[in-house]
């Protein structure tokens, strides 16, 4: 049984994002696979998804509901999880086969290379695979004194990357960023739709826009001047896959 994990907290992503993720997983796996969701609110989530409470963590309130909370996944025990587990963020669109994510580089910690910092040894924790019980110092060191990694790294994925050191990246064509890989550069983003390369398997929607926004050509911005360059055309292939 392959295990894929996601986390849902707060109100930014409703239960529908979990249900769509599960639907995409089922379409793109050939082997028996389950989705485990760690959340404080399982209302509305498909009963086929296995729900566990958010793992406990000692964390400053100012970052308690930010990506730093994902550090809680590096503890043991962790629900009933064992062996190799694939973590996937809720704000992704799955467009290709997933089974290979469990076969690639056996025994290694695998992660997407951060699209905005190539060559700098920093992974993006939208999609990563780890073996339960390994690198538990990531959690232990954090809860011992959270202010140290917060001050040193600023962003949780930099902390994870720095704590592991030698990262194994997924093939670049497997995991792409909608905003940083696919979206045409300004000013062409006003005229061209973001393409979907055939080898793509997971599209990560880091920051804004989210999939439900990009599909209709919406990029929420507050400052008027950002509208001069933050623009996305309606993207039909999202509708085809994000369901």
User: How many structural domains is the chain composed of?
Assistant: 1
Token pair 């994902």 in the structure block, residue = 70
pLDDT at 222 > cutoff 90: no
pLDDT in tens, 21-38: 999 999 999 999 999 999
Look at residue 198 in the predicted model and tell me its pLDDT.
97
Which helix (DSSP H) or strand (DSSP E) does residue 169 occupy? Answer: strand 168-169
Instruction: Answer for the pair 18, 46: CB distance below 8 angstroms, yes or no.
Output: yes
Tell the burial category of 30 from Cβ atoms under 10 Å away from its Cβ (0-12, 13-18, 19+): exposed
Find the domain containing 119 and state its range: 1-243
User: In this prediction, what percent of the chain has a pLDDT beyond 90?
Assistant: 98
pLDDT at 57 > cutoff 90: yes
Instruction: Answer for the pair 220, 207: CB distance below 8 angstroms, yes or no.
Output: no
Average pLDDT over residues 11-20: 96
Cβ contacts of 176 within 8 Å, gap of 6 or more? 115, 182, 197, 200, 202, 203, 204
Distance CA 187, CA 32 (A): 44
Average pLDDT over residues 216-239: 95
pLDDT at 151 > cutoff 90: yes
Mean pLDDT over all residues of the chain? 97
Look at residue 242 in the predicted model and tell me its pLDDT.
98
Q: What is the pTM of this model?
A: 0.96
Look at residue 19 in the predicted model and tell me its pLDDT.
98
CATH of the domain at 205: 3.90.550.10
pLDDT at 77 > cutoff 90: yes
């Amino acid at each position: 049984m392959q295990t894929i994990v996601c986390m849902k907290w707060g109100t930014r992503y409703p239960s529908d994002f979990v249900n769509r993720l599960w639907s995409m997983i089922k379409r793109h796996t050939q082997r028996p696979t389950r989705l485990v969701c760690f959340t404080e609110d399982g209302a509305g989530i498909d009963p086929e998804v296995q729900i566990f409470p958010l793992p406990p963590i000692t964390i400053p309130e100012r970052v308690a509901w930010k990506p730093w909370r994902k550090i809680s996944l590096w503890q043991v025990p962790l629900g009933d999880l064992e062996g190799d587990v694939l973590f996937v963020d809720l704000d992704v669109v799955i467009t290709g086969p997933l089974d290979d994510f469990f076969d690639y580089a056996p025994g290694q910690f695998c992660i997407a290379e951060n699209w905005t910092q190539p060559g700098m040894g920093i992974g993006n924790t939208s999609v990563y695979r780890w073996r339960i019980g390994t690198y538990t110092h990531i959690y232990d060191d954090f809860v011992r004194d959270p202010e140290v990694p917060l001050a040193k790294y600023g962003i949780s994925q930099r902390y994870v990357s720095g704590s592991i050191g030698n990262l194994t990246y997924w093939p670049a064509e497997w995991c792409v960023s909608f905003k940083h890989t696919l979206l045409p550069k300004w000013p062409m983003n006003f005229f061209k739709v973001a393409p979907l390369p055939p080898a793509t398997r997971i599209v990560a929607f880091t920051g804004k826009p989210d999939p439900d926004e990009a599909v209709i050509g919406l990029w929420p911005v507050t400052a008027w001047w950002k509208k001069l360059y933050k623009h996305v055309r309606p993207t039909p292939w999202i509708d085809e896959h994000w369901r």
